[in-house]
Structure 1
Amino acid sequence: MSWKDTAEPVLTRMPSVERPDRHVPFKRKLAWTAGVLVLYFFLTNVFLFGLERGAGSDAFGRFRSILAGGQGTIVHLGIGPIVTGSIVLQLLGGANLLGLDTQNNPRDQILYQGLQKLLVIAMVVLTGLPMVFAGNFLPASETLAQTFPGGTFGVNMLMFGQVFVGGVLILYMDEVISKWGVGSGVGLFIIAGVSQRLIGGIIAIEALPGATLGIIPAYIRMALGNLPVTAENLFFGFQSGSGQISGILAIITTILIFVIVVYAESVRVEIPLSHARVKGARGRFPVKLIYASVLPMILVRALQQNIQFIGQLLNSQASLPAWVGAYNAQGQPISGLFYYLAPIQTRQDWMWFVTTPTGSPEVWQILLRVAVDLTFMVIGGAIFAIFWVETTDMGPEATAQQIQNSGMQIPGFRQNPGVLEKVLERYIPQVTVIGGALVGLLAVGANMLGTIGGVSGTGLLLTVSITYKLYEEIAEEQLMEMHPMMRQMFG
């Protein structure tokens, strides 16, 4: 008996959002998308009952904008469990340990979806438990613990229950958008979180709760003489009582990332196609420079975040050897192995000639950390891009079969999936690796130079790329609404 037969009763009974049995009108898709987005913003403002407000540290730190959650809220975990579950599933699928044919076998498709949900729920438990019960990430309120049944343990269990519910809600909200809305929930939540920080970095004032002074109010105060005006402050930004205020360099970096990503999305190799039976019916199959999209970069950053979370957890439970890692009061590594594995997040992490990096490491230590981060992101981006292409049926074999099933062929070549696959193998694998490495390089560069609102480079890349693809999907939906025949062609 295979593992499929053993696990099938459980995996096939995993709760799921019913797929629509007919075409969903575009306006209804927008309504579902907007409704889930409003619910997401509401949940990011529902703080955990029993949590001691203002205490503890954020285990996700500067990864928060990518993982799309709210510190100390019911959606504290954000999309972290979904991403970590995807990493595990991709590694298992890439090593061919699952033996699932998700392309041609309907039973295997159901098992794959059920296994994905089960892994995400397991990651919610494995991530939420140590955050609540260890490491002082979500400390229980001592006042409530004195009267609550079970004391501190009872309050911790109550908070874990809320975190668990929030993680499951994010999972099914993502599924609702994927089946009934526009785009994906994971992408939408990232856009929502990053856009909120970008807008805040431009116009926020200190009177807003938890806000850092935005660029426009800061420059107005400089003009009025209420803030110091120096060339260094204007270009690099500076630290104020409310946080880091962005400078001209951050504005230039943000605009440059927008331009580069939009340009890279438009760079493509177009393979000509013609219909085998309908004379004159022609088309093109585009192989974009960022063929695997920017989404695999979430997996790379999530892997880094999990490594850092393990370091923080170990540091909170025991005194680590100096070579493993030393941490400051804010829970950030300042030396040792975990310091070198920590990604560069801001200019203050490496600009020893302008600012004093945290922990005041030697110049060679800073350069080594930059080299490790750059290598991790470039190589990791390429590897996860390959995994992404293969597991989402975007590889040469799956794409050739899709073109064959649509009745199209490459002019001058026989109408055969094997022939199509050989042609596609000239482009897809190479472009996938180059695109994944390029995205990793851009993410590190944006982090090193800084962006508006302190948004991470990866978060900014993801937002621009996902927004661009969302625009393309909306345009496609509108086209199919206008021409029902187009809907049949797109399936």
Structure 2
Amino acid sequence: MIVILLDELLQKGYGLGSGISLFIATNICESIVWKAFSPTTINTGRGPEFEGAVIALFHLLMTWPNKQRALQEAFYRQNLPNIMNLLATLLVFAAVIYLQGFRVEIPVKSSRQRGARGSYPVRLFYTSNMPIMLQSALSSNIFLISQMMYSRFSENLLVRLFGVWEAKDGSSQLHAVSGLVYYMSPPLNFREALLDPIHTAAYIVYMLGACALFSKTWIEVSGSSPRDVAKQLKDQGLVMAGHREQSMYKELKRVIPTAAAFGGACIGALSVFSDLMGALGSGTGTLLAVTIIYGYFEIAAKEGDLAGMKGMIMG
């Protein structure tokens, strides 16, 4: 209820962007920071260890006489956040920010004012983070249904073909170990990905295909399809430079669906990389956080430009 009320406040102009997106990004960033700097100690059977990867690095360097082994333990320790997980998270952040700059500039000109020209940008991430959000929602629902069916009909052949769930390494958390949902779920770590290449290949194909398909579908239902964009440009009195008004839709149809599908596949590939490298906060969570934060950065920059222009006019 509180989240809904805060979202309503932002929607009415008391803040920037969507409240739901802000809360998602805040929650994911809190999780990443906690796993990097948590001072909580956990008994892993080898004595108490710090949960935070950075805290554990300094603790191991100060307490272990063999510094090389201490570094190796800090970078590759199992079942707790490590430095490699943190570096993978930072790498995904940098990759998404870098790829956000890729775009195709479609030159447009005004059909009402002579000499007025501009451009319509079609970004690589044309549908932003929607593909990974829809893919995550689909997978979560399928996993939930599979777990419910397996808990009640674990001996049924069709249920077992759909998914078999077991706890691993003494943990109470269930993981898919066979069946369809096993190939839809990410490998637990990079080592497991190498040991089961068929699972890894199937997961990569599923992620890239699902994200590309959801991205192409989203442009049709969100009002950002080539036909919708052509209508918007026409209503604003804009035409593509070097093209007739009738051929504008064909040119947009050549560019926009390709950008949407390829951008969705890139989002899926980044999510796969995050999962395989064990990025803090999961692959999907990391991508959602960085795309939302980048969106807020653009909104703030746009608001700053408008405020600056208003100040110049009033001054």
TM-score normalized with structure 1 length: 0.55
Code of the aligned partner of 2:270: L
Matches within 5 A, 1:42-441: 166=1, 170=3, 173-180=6-13, 181-206=15-40, 213-225=51-63, 229-230=69-70, 232-239=72-79, 244-247=80-83, 249-321=84-156, 322-323=160-161, 324-328=163-167, 330-337=172-179, 340-344=182-186, 346-347=188-189, 350-351=192-193, 363=195, 366-414=196-244, 416=245, 418-441=246-269
Q: Distance in 1 between matches of 2:296 and 2:125?
A: 15
Match of 1:270, SS state, is strand
Report deviation, 1:386: 1.0
For residues 12 and 155 of structure 2, what CA distance do their matches in structure 1 show? Answer: 47
For the 8 Å contact 1:346–1:449, the answer to whether it is kept is no
Whether the 8 Å CA contact 1:327–1:335 is kept in 2: the answer is yes
The amino acid that maps onto 1:194 is I
Determine the structure 1 residue equivalent to 2:309: 483
Q: Using CA pairs below 8 Å that are at least 6 residues apart, which structure has the higher relative contact order?
A: 2
Q: Residues 347 and 384 from structure 1, CA distance in 2 versus in 1: closer, same or farther, beyond 3 angstroms? A: same
Letter in 1 for 2:82: S
CA shift at 1:334, angstroms? 4.5
The amino acid that maps onto 1:327 is: E
Check the 8 A contact 1:268/1:287 in 2, yes or no.
Answer: yes
Contact 1:345 1:456 in 2 (8 A): no
Instruction: Tell whether the 8 Å contact from 2:187 to 2:200 is kept in structure 1 after alignment.
Output: no
8 Å CA contact 1:314–1:320 kept in 2: the answer is: no
Cα separation, 2, equivalents of 1:198 and 1:376: 26
CA contact (8 A) 1:191 1:466 kept: yes
Who is 2:295 aligned against? 469
* Contact 1:340/1:368, CA 8 A, preserved across alignment: no
Structure 2 Cα separation of the partners of residues 175 and 297 of structure 1: 25
Identity %: 27
Secondary structure of 2:108 counterpart: strand
Q: CA RMSD in A?
A: 2.8
Which residue matches 2:46?
none
**One-letter amino acid matched to 2:286:** L
CA offsets 1:136-165 (integer angstroms, 9 cap, x no match): xxxxxxxxxxxxxxxxxxxxxxxxxxxxxx
- The superposition leaves residues 331-386 of structure 1 with CA deviations (integer Å, 9 ceiling, x where unpaired) of 4235331552452164177256xxxxxxxxxx4xx323222221111010011101
Q: Structure 2 CA distance, aligned partners of 1:320 and 1:190?
A: 38
Q: Is the 8 A contact 1:276 1:408 kept in 2?
A: yes
**Distance 1:448-1:318 versus aligned 2 partners, 3 A rule:** same
Q: Is the 8 A contact 2:126 2:260 kept in 1?
A: yes
Q: Cα deviation per residue 1:403-458 (whole Å; 9 max; x = unaligned)?
A: 122222222333x3x4321121121011111111111011011110112xx31112
Q: Which has a greater percent of helix?
A: 2
Separation in 1, partners of 2:181, 2:137: 17
1:245 match: secondary structure: coil
Cα distance, 1:215–1:435 mapped onto 2, change above 3 Å: same
Shift of 1:230: 4.7
8 Å contact from structure 1 (residues 312, 331) kept in 2? no
In the TM superposition, residue 199 of structure 1 has moved relative to its aligned partner by: 1.2
Specify the code of the residue in structure 1 equivalent to 2:29: S
State the partner residue of 2:45. Answer: none
Deviations 1:58-105 (A, max 9, x none): xxxxxxxxxxxxxxxxxxxxxxxxxxxxxxxxxxxxxxxxxxxxxxxx
More strand as a share of residues: 2
Counterpart residue identity of residue 372, structure 1:
A
Distance 1:238 1:395 in 2: 46
SS at match of 1:483: helix
Q: 1:245 to 1:307 in 2, by over 3 A?
A: same
Alignment-mate amino acid for residue 17 of structure 2: G
CA contact (8 A) 1:269 1:288 kept: yes
Query: Cα distance, 1:278 vs. partner?
Result: 2.6
CA distance in 2 between counterparts of 1:343 and 1:179 reads: 39
Mark the CA change 1:342 to 1:233 in structure 2 (over 3 Å): closer, same or farther. farther
- Taking structure 2 as the reference length, the TM-score comes to 0.83
CA distance 1:196–1:441, shift in 2 (3 Å) = same
Q: Distance in 1 between matches of 2:250 and 2:184?
A: 41
Contact 2:7/2:18, CA 8 A, preserved across alignment: yes
Q: CA offset at residue 223 of structure 1?
A: 1.5
Using a 3 Å threshold, how does the CA distance of structure 1 residues 311 and 171 change in structure 2: closer, same or farther?
A: farther
CA-CA distance at 1:238 after TM superposition: 3.0
Q: What SS does the corresponding residue of 1:423 show, helix, strand or coil? A: helix
Whichever residue aligns with residue 319 of structure 1, its letter is S
Aligned residues: 295
